[in-house]
Amino acid sequence: MPTGRLLLFALLSAFILTACQEESAVDVSGQEVAFRKAFPELIPLPDGFQPEGIVAGTGNNFYVGSLADGSIYRGDFRTGTGEVIFTPEGDRIAVGLAFDPATRYLYVAGGATGGAYVLDTRALEVVQTYDFGGSFVNDVAITKDGAYFTESFAPNLYVAELTRRGEPTGETETLTLGGEFDFVPGGFNANGIEVTPDGKQLIVVNSSLGTLYLVDPATATAEQIDLGGETVVNGDGILLVGKSLYVVQNSFNQIAEVSLSPDYTSGTITDIITDENFRVPTTVTRKGSTLYAVNARFGTPPGPDVDYEVVGVRR
């Protein structure tokens, strides 16, 4: 090859090699930036914490409650870090949770204590306690008028009255679930609860039967949601996103996605979400397009060295 052409070929080869190296560097850098921005899919909780309820707060915050002593853990979806921010006095446990972004109050269902408490997450002070006289106060959802707590061992809803500004008045009422609600004596009945976007209806799952109900918050009259013969047995915590209802089926280690009709009276199970990291998840919340379920690990003897975590899955 003539000397001139050889020189030109060498220069061209060097240019192409440099360009490829720069493009590769950009790709790698982009991947590293994307990796740094990604939220962790597995978020550890303190050993021995015994979690059950989880709910998103403001920003990247989330809250998890402890069955062991009613403590509240505040974590960060983005960093995967957090800490126990509050432990109530006395003999308390924390089951289902609901967060009011207007007041930043956290409503905590008290399980077998028969009551509940409300935590100001900024002052870290209890602003209200309730004694419903229940057997197992399981979960909670908030409307503009009140906080509604499910009872698993009786066909009851407990209502804690709120002011227009969302402040608890301390007044409570017990409503009897009626209409089409099926109660199984000795079984685990009403569990997860959600509010429709217009605030006019509640959705409740019966764990034993796997049935879903649309409930009038004023009268507690229930209408069974028609799932076309299918059920969500072992349904625990539920999450409503638009017309999609996510039902955690705890011992099945899965989340059922139910596509609901415009009036919420019927639905179809459109997906079953599973993950190798599920270890008896109980409740679920979300951040963006990611669902976060907390592993309660029921069936594993609790102890100070037992590990727990929050698992993120794409919806």
Three-class secondary structure of residue 31 per DSSP? helix
Tell which residue, 219, 209, 191, has the closest CA to residue 109.
Answer: 191
For the chain, give the number of residues: 315
Strand arrangement of the beta sheet that strand 72-76 belongs to: 51-56, 61-66, 72-76, 82-86
Letter string b/e over residues 233-253, b meaning 16 or more CB atoms within 10 A of that residue's CB: bbbbbbbbeeeebbbbbbebb
Kindly report the CATH number that applies to the domain delimited by 42-314.
2.130.10.10
Domain boundaries, the chain: 1-38, 42-314
**Cβ 274 vs Cβ 280: under 8 Å:** no
315 residues of the chain, pLDDT tens digit each: 444 444 444 444 444 444 444 333 333 444 434 433 589 999 999 999 999 999 999 999 999 999 999 999 999 999 999 999 999 998 899 999 999 999 999 999 999 999 999 999 999 999 999 999 999 999 999 999 999 999 999 999 999 999 999 999 999 999 999 999 999 999 999 999 999 999 999 999 999 999 999 999 999 999 999 999 999 999 999 999 999 999 999 999 999 999 999 999 999 999 999 999 999 999 999 999 999 999 999 999 999 999 999 999 998
